[in-house]
Amino acid sequence: MQLISKETTKDKLFNIVVKASNLQERIALHGNGSYQKDKLNFSGSKERWEKWTKTVAKGNKEKFNRRLKWAGLEREKLTFVLADYFPLITELPAWAITLEKIIETAEKTCQSEQESDSDKYFIFGEPIPFEEFYLPFIKVAKEKILATYSNQWQKLSSQAQIDLLRGLLSKLASIGTPTLMEEFDQFRVGENRLKDLLSLRFSLDLSRRKYDSWLNKLLSTSLWELFSKYSVLGRLLATTIDFWVATTGDFLTNLTNDWQAIEHNFSPDKDLQQVIGCKCNLSDSHNRGKSVIIITFDTELKLVYKPRDLGLETAFYQIIDWCNEQEELLSLHSLKILNYTTHGWSEYAASLPCQDELEIKRFFQRS
């Protein structure tokens, strides 16, 4: 949590925080009276109540009331929850501070800087939807990493650093694409929908010009408006950055601390100097955004980093080692594992096709 001094920014952020608050957070505010009672506005409560009833119980009020009772929720408290209010707090959650930094960065970043960054994070032929929009987000994430993990960050080559940041870019895009698509579509057609659609058939670059115009306006002056309208989106994007900084920080710390053990177990004959590549988002995110990363060292050694206990894998490959001691069985490949309970490193196993019919038979025998 951090104190906010600028009054106008404070009001805008509080507005976004209130709109993005979940049910439990709103009920908690009601319980401790942390809101200005004279600023309660119930004008939208009835419409929200009806929409909630329709979503949860298909409009059946009796069924919805039973659902509330089962959850231990009181209708009187929920009436407040559905109202517009202004909280009596002087601090903001961490994600709101991150969101403010993103908006400020977007407003300060000139077009030339954005184009320079795009050369680093964009891959020709593999576009990410609205990737230019997220450049201020990437810039803030990198600043946060360098503020705490600058030394560990240097264990990665410039390409490996870009790989990690592009992984974040993909995560952000998976969250924001539907909303940005809707917003751009509304901007593109404007008041001359038929005219614009007809023009697009004859001018391929008209759409690009409209896109650049929309993006420049959005990043330079309209992000406050966007996240006031889509406050939960702002919360999700900012939280994704905070989670990425924390999980990437853990990865960098573990990599640095385990470096000698990694050399000893996986590369006893060659010293490891630097990680030159990272493949990210290779598993479902869990525990605040953690996922599997495959890293490549300067010696071409590949390892799989898993941010969890690898005890199960260790036991499995002990069974495989035992199987390999039995003469009547075909040998099975046993992977080296370096386990630290909270995380671990595994030898990389490439998936390769069988070369002939004999290899196919042996594949099924081993299976």
In this prediction the pTM is: 0.86
Residue 365 CA to chain centroid, in angstroms? 42
User: What is the CB neighbour count within 10 angstroms for residue 114?
Assistant: 18
pLDDT of residue 194: 44
Three-state SS string over the chain comes to CEECCCHHHHHHHHHHHHHHCCHHHHHHHHHHCCECHHHCECCCHHHHHHHHHHHHHCCCHHHHHHHHHHCCCCHHHHHHHCCECCECCCEECHHHHHHHHHHHHHHHCCHHHHHHHHHHHCCCCCCCCCHHHHHHHHHHHHHHHHHHHHHHHCCECHHHHHHHHHHHHHHHHHHHHHHHHHHHHHHHHCCCHHHHHHHHCCCCCHHHHHHHHHHHHHHHHHHHHHHHHCHHHHHHHHHHHHHHHHHHHHHHHHHHHHHHHHHHHHCCCCCCCCEEEEECCCCCCECCCECCEEEEECCCCEEEEECCCCHHHHHHHHHHHHHHCCCCCCCCCCCCEEECCCCEEEECCCCCCCCCHHHHHHHHHHC
pLDDT of residue 82: 82
Let me know how long the chain is.
367
pLDDT of residue 277: 97
- Going from N- to C-terminal start, the domains of the chain cover 2-92, 95-246, 311-366
Residue in the block written with tokens 């495959």: 294
CA-based diameter of the chain, in Å?
83
Residues facing 293 on adjacent strands: 305
Compute the distance between CA of residue 269 and CA of residue 63 in angstroms, rounded to an integer: 69
Q: Is 271 exposed, middle or buried (0-12, 13-18, 19+ CB in 10 A)?
A: exposed
Which of 307, 171, 177 lies closest to 239 in space, CA to CA? 171
Which of 12, 41, 11 lies closest to 227 in space, CA to CA? 12
Per-residue pLDDT 10s for the chain (367 aa) are 444 444 578 888 888 988 898 888 887 777 666 666 666 777 888 888 899 999 999 999 899 989 988 988 877 778 777 877 766 666 789 999 999 999 999 988 765 455 556 667 787 778 889 999 999 999 999 999 999 999 999 999 999 999 999 999 999 999 999 999 999 888 877 645 545 544 544 455 666 788 888 888 899 888 999 999 999 999 999 999 999 999 999 999 999 999 999 999 999 999 999 999 999 988 888 888 899 999 999 999 999 999 999 999 999 999 999 999 988 888 999 999 999 999 999 999 988 999 999 999 999 998 8
pLDDT of residue 210: 81
pLDDT of residue 191: 46
pLDDT of residue 198: 46
Which of 141, 109, 101, 147 lies closest to 6 in space, CA to CA? 101
pLDDT of residue 187: 85
Compute the distance between CA of residue 351 and CA of residue 304 in angstroms, rounded to an integer: 14
